[in-house]
Structure 1
């Protein structure tokens, strides 16, 4: 089985989704987070620089101190060697006399000593024979430094790792500095090298203390920066949030809402300007409401006043139309034209009143279970005589089972009738196979009707304009059905009132197709249509 991951962030846990929503909606959170991250980066760079400078300073100071101390110890050793009697030819004894005082001094002052040599023999400390501080691992002296003193050389130093073993047999490793200095042993007139190994324990403790202090200061500084940023952004964001809330209430129709103004800063001036804008909007909306009320009353009054003379004219027209056979041909034709235009005028008046109800928001639905298959057949049967005049056949393509939807029967029949008569108006009589096809389909969520004609079609961009009031695709074409130019506009309003779709497709020379889609249940949200908008008999151009 194929498992698809849900689209969007719906697959995330609720706390994560809430956090992401809060992050997207809160400018204060983003500003605070950005400031904290930048502060951490700056503090990290500055802290690293300070630690490097502190470390280098401590090490430089320590190197100067240990080199001076090693030189002092070497100078004292040379003094002792010069004071030794010339008859002393015991090399081993003289080496012990040389190194033991230094080892004793190192035990009290915290450094270790290795005496190696003589130079020039190619031997190494690891070969044995060296005198050194008890417990010291002679590998603590780097090989590179040993090679440096394979011949006579001045005092030199390097960093190393001091390894030692205590009385309990525990081996420890500590960073340190090793300083090498040479002395001449009178017993054999050979040059020997004294290696002084100084640990860096104090420097390590100092660096640890400085690091802890810097970390503590960095944490406190980041917290302080975050707090100050939060306070500063709150002073700016709070008025913005208040303005958003007031704007939402204004949008909901509470036109009397205003911002509270305090102070004379930029935000206070912004609140003042916002209140002035709200007052102007309230005044203009009230003017528009009054104008709309006057317009509705005017339309109502005009319609009422027009109906009486129209009824009188209609009665007179009916009398003339019934007696037209007794008139001469010109008068009889005038009576027929008068009857036709009276019918169109009555239809136009009814359409204008209907449009005015939509504009005033007074249109209401009378919902009932509606079978779109029956609606299609009724409309087609009613418009067949008009289609016959144009030489057009109307075909209904509907399933045997009902396609039900909760809708206003009168309004939906009016929509379908407008679509069919519009198709008749725009279908030519000289086109082969120019039947009008009315298709009906439905599913569990929606029901739809399409009206397909093979007339003049629609040019690019006209599919969106066809529902405009009094718009005509071809101004030179006569309205065979006696339409008023408001039918498709009223149909679109009727469809929106049901929460449905009314869409158009067309191509010049290939006709047009209109699709009405309604939800099966009133108030449901449409997501698809059971019928395609583009006809299946249309070949899409290759691009």
Structure 2
């Protein structure tokens, strides 16, 4: 029985004697000075450490986000990655479950065989020990000790089918125990529960951790049973067997390693098969996608290679047939388009000569209309007006034919957009007065210089302002311009009938009119917005429209300040502020 002794006094732990007041104050002053001076340095080191930790955390988060983004991109863009990952997860799950079940069954079977052999050996040992202790002298302690030691030694020498083991015999007489172990460290490791069960009678077994000669705990199967003696004697003898499970643990470790390696190899094998099968299916699809992309780029002679007679070969055959059909149709459409363009151009040119002759005759009639009767004079005026409109239509048709033929070019020159806007609005002021419409012009005070074709930009603005006046229902028309570092923009806002979303999609179509029953007062050809859109595209710019029924419409022209530059944004919003507030109120 161990006892706890009080620890010896530690001289260093003894409280120091209280110094004199004068000495204490002097010591405090000497010691406090370096502490005060070293505290800022310690705080600075802590701050540097915190900053370093914070930087590492931020760097780790960035790396994690980058890896996560790459993994997500690979997952979304690669069918190989998705199928490989799904196959690995499914195969790994199945392999883990099967391996766990298989390993559990092997372990249970191995331990069951070990336990059965140990039980048989313990029963044989109990019979042998009963014969050895039958004539034990219970009152002689030396006789009891020698008998127990001899029996333990003989049981140890007998061996058995369960492998290596240790034996412990315990002689109980009242509260006195006399253990006789084959090795001294075995008996203290026997659990109290097992001792209590054996003391109650019967054979019992239990798994426990028992130290070996090096005090290292080993899994051990313990079997205990009472040794039958004279029923009238108060003494009891118990026999315990300790069977180390080292061999079984090594076997299970080897089996576990084999199962893990086999599971990993099987999973990788299944994933490889899945990726290979996926590649066999995906590669033709990728080739088809590449061929389709080249077809979309205009390489109409591209075709897929047909190999074999399987489903993929039928896919390639069908794809090639579709490509042949598309090539024929596109060729026919190109021919019809070229024929239409040539027809429009030829007709426009051919009509020039008779139109000039008719215009000269109409001009003479128009100038002499005062000598004619009222009806004839009115006819001369209508003829003069319609011939002017016919000439405008021919001019627009010739311009469209140039765009269709791809021969339209720009005459770049630095242009002040503010002066250009003011010139256009001044020229449209008479039309605005006839419609009872007020033109409002706003823009920055400084010059906005852009490299544009001034004639084409002026034509775009005339079309936009004219349409705004015609569809503005007499309400004010607002023209604004602004610029940023890379682009300039002009907006034309009216408050008339407006446009629906469906109408806004067709507003730039040729000869399209939102309301066919509306009388055209400006005298346009129906090609103005189409030509304006082509002019904007030729500049590398944007021509966009916003509209709401009853709230008016706004057109925005955006062009780069430098010729050939790419647009990324516009300095003016497409949707006016009133439209944004009304939309938000809804």
Q: Indicate the larger mover: 457-466 or 132-141.
A: 457-466
Question: What is the CA distance between 1:183 and its match in structure 2?
Answer: 1.4
SS at the partner of 2:436? coil
Contact 2:472 2:497 in 1 (8 A): yes
Q: Indicate the larger mover: 170-179 or 90-99.
A: 90-99
Question: What is the CA distance between 1:91 and its match in structure 2?
Answer: 4.9
Is 1:114 matched up with 2:168? yes
RMSD: 2.7
Summarize the Cα distance change of 1:476–1:404 in structure 2 as closer, same or farther, 3 Å threshold: same
TM-score by length of 1: 0.88
Distance 2:557 2:165 in 1: 97
Equivalence map 1:159-198=2 (5 Å): 159-164=207-212, 166=213, 170-185=214-229, 188-198=233-243
Is 1:216 matched up with 2:288? no
SS at the partner of 2:575? coil
Contact 2:424 2:458 in 1 (8 A): yes
Structure 1: runs of 5+ lacking an equivalent: 1-8
Give CA deviations for 1:360-406 in whole Å, capped at 9, x if unaligned: 44433333323221220111121112222222232221222122333
Equivalence map 1:435-446=2 (5 Å): 435-446=476-487
Alignment partner of 2:463 out of 400, 411, 418: 418
Is 1:204 matched up with 2:249? yes
Summarize the Cα distance change of 1:41–1:289 in structure 2 as closer, same or farther, 3 Å threshold: same
Contact 2:186 2:210 in 1 (8 A): yes
Question: What is the CA distance between 1:150 and its match in structure 2?
Answer: 3.3
Contact 1:456 1:510 in 2 (8 A): yes
Instruction: Please list every run of at least 4 consecutive aligned residues from structure 1 whose deviation after the TM superposition is greater than 4 angstroms.
Output: 9-23, 185-189
Is 1:90 matched up with 2:140? yes
Summarize the Cα distance change of 1:117–1:461 in structure 2 as closer, same or farther, 3 Å threshold: farther
Is 1:30 matched up with 2:96? no
Q: Indicate the larger mover: 13-22 or 482-491.
A: 13-22
Question: What is the CA distance between 1:525 and its match in structure 2?
Answer: 3.7
Q: Indicate the larger mover: 87-96 or 171-180.
A: 87-96
Contact 1:377 1:396 in 2 (8 A): yes
Summarize the Cα distance change of 1:423–1:413 in structure 2 as closer, same or farther, 3 Å threshold: same
In structure 1, the residue matched to 2:538 is 497
Distance 1:99 1:143 in 2: 23
Distance 1:201 1:138 in 2: 19
Question: What is the CA distance between 1:500 and its match in structure 2?
Answer: 2.3
Distance 1:452 1:269 in 2: 57
Distance 2:158 2:558 in 1: 100
Structure 2: runs of 5+ lacking an equivalent: 1-60
In structure 1, the residue matched to 2:436 is 391
Alignment partner of 2:155 out of 105, 117, 139: 105
Alignment partner of 1:376 out of 418, 421, 432: 421
Summarize the Cα distance change of 1:227–1:536 in structure 2 as closer, same or farther, 3 Å threshold: closer
Equivalence map 1:45-444=2 (5 Å): 45-82=97-134, 84=135, 89-106=139-156, 109=159, 110-118=164-172, 121=174, 129-151=178-200, 153-164=201-212, 166=213, 170-185=214-229, 188-429=233-474, 434-444=475-485
Q: Indicate the larger mover: 320-329 or 352-361.
A: 352-361
Q: Indicate the larger mover: 321-330 or 249-258.
A: 249-258
Q: Indicate the larger mover: 191-200 or 216-225.
A: 216-225
Q: Indicate the larger mover: 103-112 or 204-213.
A: 103-112
Distance 1:99 1:440 in 2: 113
Contact 2:199 2:226 in 1 (8 A): no
Question: What is the CA distance between 1:317 and its match in structure 2?
Answer: 0.8
Question: What is the CA distance between 1:132 and its match in structure 2?
Answer: 1.8
In structure 2, the residue matched to 1:5 is none
Give CA deviations for 1:475-533 in whole Å, capped at 9, x if unaligned: 34322211122212222222233332222233444433222122223444433321223
In structure 2, the residue matched to 1:6 is none
Question: What is the CA distance between 1:99 and its match in structure 2?
Answer: 4.6
Summarize the Cα distance change of 1:259–1:350 in structure 2 as closer, same or farther, 3 Å threshold: same
Distance 1:469 1:454 in 2: 24
Summarize the Cα distance change of 1:13–1:147 in structure 2 as closer, same or farther, 3 Å threshold: closer
Distance 2:72 2:549 in 1: 49
Contact 1:358 1:493 in 2 (8 A): yes
Alignment partner of 1:447 out of 461, 479, 488: 488
Summarize the Cα distance change of 1:12–1:462 in structure 2 as closer, same or farther, 3 Å threshold: farther
Distance 1:363 1:17 in 2: 46
Question: What is the CA distance between 1:78 and its match in structure 2?
Answer: 0.8
Q: Indicate the larger mover: 350-359 or 375-384.
A: 350-359
Question: What is the CA distance between 1:133 and its match in structure 2?
Answer: 2.4
Alignment partner of 2:509 out of 461, 468, 478: 468
Contact 2:487 2:571 in 1 (8 A): yes
Contact 1:112 1:136 in 2 (8 A): no
TM-score by length of 2: 0.82
Q: Indicate the larger mover: 109-118 or 87-96.
A: 87-96
Distance 2:142 2:457 in 1: 122
Contact 1:28 1:233 in 2 (8 A): yes
Distance 2:399 2:146 in 1: 123
Distance 1:213 1:535 in 2: 73
SS at the partner of 2:526? coil
Distance 2:65 2:408 in 1: 45
Alignment: residue pair count: 519
SS at the partner of 1:320? helix
Contact 1:118 1:190 in 2 (8 A): yes
In structure 2, the residue matched to 1:540 is 582
Question: What is the CA distance between 1:348 and its match in structure 2?
Answer: 1.5
Give CA deviations for 1:119-162 in whole Å, capped at 9, x if unaligned: 8x5x5xxx8642222332433211111221333x2111111111
SS at the partner of 1:504? strand
Distance 1:234 1:457 in 2: 55
Question: What is the CA distance between 1:175 and its match in structure 2?
Answer: 0.3
Distance 2:514 2:89 in 1: 61
Is 1:516 matched up with 2:560? no
Distance 2:218 2:427 in 1: 105
Summarize the Cα distance change of 1:224–1:512 in structure 2 as closer, same or farther, 3 Å threshold: closer
